[in-house]
Amino acid sequence: MFTLTKKADYGMALLSVLAQRGRGGRVSLKELSDLGMPRAFMSKIAGSLVEAGILNSKEGKGGGFSLNYEPKEVQVREALEAIEGEVAPVNCESCPMEGGCGQQTLMDKLTLQIEELLEKYTLADLVS
């Protein structure tokens, strides 16, 4: 079974909340925790999205995380890559059989198809 990691799952849940609120709408770590998301884990995930420029972070009263863009302007691929790194079913570069197993060409094609598919969707699609 091909699945996304828990990190990607929580990250997309965070982005869904923000997509519902639109650009500039904030969500705090406390709110996310109240929704059942682990606070420390969400802080790390949100930090990756801030580093990628997708989210903005504001400390203090009324603080939290907000989208830097309209939800329709952020591709799901861009968000997942900010959270996880490269989106691929396998990592042939770290395999001891790289180039010699016979499946690398197929995996490269599959990775390209996944990337192209994820580029068709935006954060707005998460909440439509």
Q: Where are the beta strands (DSSP E) in the chain?
A: 26-27, 55-58, 64-67
Residue 36's pLDDT band, with cuts at 50, 70 and 90, is very high
pLDDT, tens only, 50-105? 999 999 999 988 889 999 999 999 999 999 999 998 887 777 777 787 667 878 88
- Give the mean pLDDT of the chain: 90
Residue 2 confidence (pLDDT): 61
Statement: residue 1 has pLDDT above 50: no
Distance CA 29, CA 110 (A): 36
Backbone angles phi, psi at 57, to 5 degrees: -120, 135
Distance CA 80, CA 112 (A): 15
Annotation: CATH topology of 6-126: Arc Repressor Mutant, subunit A (1.10.10)
Statement: residue 107 has pLDDT above 50: yes
Give the distance between the most distant pair of CA atoms in the chain: 56
Q: Which of 69, 73, 109, 80 is nearest to 13 (CA)?
A: 80
Question: End-to-end alpha-carbon separation of the chain, Å?
Answer: 26
* Sign of the torsion formed by the C-alpha atoms of 85, 89, 117 and 115: positive
Distance CA 10, CA 12 (A): 5
